[in-house]
Amino acid sequence: MNDIFGAKKPHDEEFLSIRDSPDYEEIRDYINLLWSQFHTLADSHFINEIGKQFHRRYWEMYLACALKNTGMDLSSEDSGPDLCVKNNESSIWVEAIAPTNGEGPDAVPPPARNGIAEEVPEEQVIFRLRNAIETKFGKYLKYLEEGTISHSAPYIIAVNGNKISHAQITSRPSIIEKSVYPLGANIAVYSLKEKKLTNWEIEHRPEIIKKSKSTVTTTVFEDKKYEGISAIIYSNTSVWNRKRDDSLGEDFLLLHNPLALNPISNDWLKVGDEIKQNI
C-alpha cells in the first residue's frame, strides 16, 4: 500500500498543512485509516491528485468508505464514473464532485470576518451546486454515448458543498433541495385581523437569474431531461468538521429523483437521511 501523503510536487495548502503540522497527527491517523479501506479502489492518479486537490479527493475516498461500510460491493477503474456499486447482477454508478466558490460575478463571496452578521448569498450558492450537477450530468451523457454505462443503470451524483462558503448553514428546505426543486424563501403569513402569524409558505422559484441575465433552473427533479440522474447524495463533511464518534455517512442526505428512469430503492442507502418527493 502506497503512502497517501507521498504525492509528488504537492501544492494544495490544506494537504501540506495536514501532512507537515505536528498538531494534526490525529487527522493524519484518520486519513490513513480511510486510505487503508480505500486504496484498492483508488485510480492510478489518486495519490498525486490528492496533493493538488485535497478536499475533492478526500470526498471521493470518504464517500467510498462510507458506502463500503454499509456492506456495498464497490469497484473502480481509471476511466468512467468514480465508483461502481454492484447490486445483484446490475451496476449502480456514482460520481463524486466537490465544487468551490467559483469565479466571476456570480461567485460565492467568502464569509465576513470577525463574526459580522450578513445575508446568506443563497442564489450564488445554488449556482455553484447547479453547476456541479450539470457538470456530472454532462459526464453521464458522455458515458452513455461512449457505452461506458448502460441506459438501464442507475446513476447517482454525490455532491460535497463544504468548500462553498455559506453552504454549511442548515435550513429547511436545505440548500440542495432548493437546487433541484423550485423552492424559494420561507414566507411568513401574518394576519392583520388576528394580529399573529397564521402560516408559513415556501416561495415558488423555478429559476434564478445570474448577473449576465441568463437563467438557471431549479427544477432538475421536475424535468424529464434529467431522468438519467437517479438520485443525489449531498454532504458538507470535511476532515475538519467530522465528529470522532460519528459513523461514516451519517452526514449524507439522499434525494431521490421522482422522475428517475432508473430509480434506486428507498432502503438502498443505509446511513444518513433521505428525501423522496412525489410529483
What does the pLDDT look like over 124-144, one tens digit per residue? Answer: 999 999 999 999 999 999 999
pLDDT at 211 > cutoff 60: yes
Q: Is residue 23 part of a domain?
A: yes
Q: Is residue 58 part of a domain?
A: yes
Give the domain extent around 129.
Answer: 13-275
Percentage with pLDDT > 70 across the chain: 90
Query: How many structural domains is the chain composed of?
Result: 1
Q: What band does 181 get if pLDDT is binned at 50, 70 and 90?
A: very high
Q: Is residue 163 part of a domain?
A: yes
Q: Count Cβ neighbours within 10 Å for each residue of 261-274 and write b for 16 or more, e otherwise.
A: bbbbeeebbebbeb
Q: Is residue 144 part of a domain?
A: yes
Q: What band does 216 get if pLDDT is binned at 50, 70 and 90?
A: very high
Comparison of pLDDT for 167 and 96, the residue scoring more:
96
Q: Rounded to whole angstroms, how far apart are CA atoms 228 and 225?
A: 8
Q: Is residue 2 part of a domain?
A: no
Residues 34 and 54 sit within 8 Å (Cβ to Cβ)? no
Read off φ and ψ for residue 76, nearest 5 degrees: -155, 145
Q: Is residue 5 part of a domain?
A: no
**How many C-beta neighbours within 10 Å does residue 173 have?**
14
Q: Is residue 270 part of a domain?
A: yes
CA proximity to 27, closest of 5, 46, 56, 42: 5
Q: Rounded to whole angstroms, how far apart are CA atoms 185 and 194?
A: 24
Q: Which region among 48-62, 75-89, 242-256 has the lowest average model confidence (pLDDT)?
A: 242-256
Q: Rounded to whole angstroms, how far apart are CA atoms 127 and 156?
A: 20
Q: How does pLDDT run across 13-67, given as a tens digit for each residue?
A: 999 999 999 999 999 999 999 999 999 999 999 999 999 999 999 999 999 999 9
Q: Is residue 1 part of a domain?
A: no
Q: Three cell numbers at 61?
A: 475516498
pLDDT at 186 > cutoff 80: no
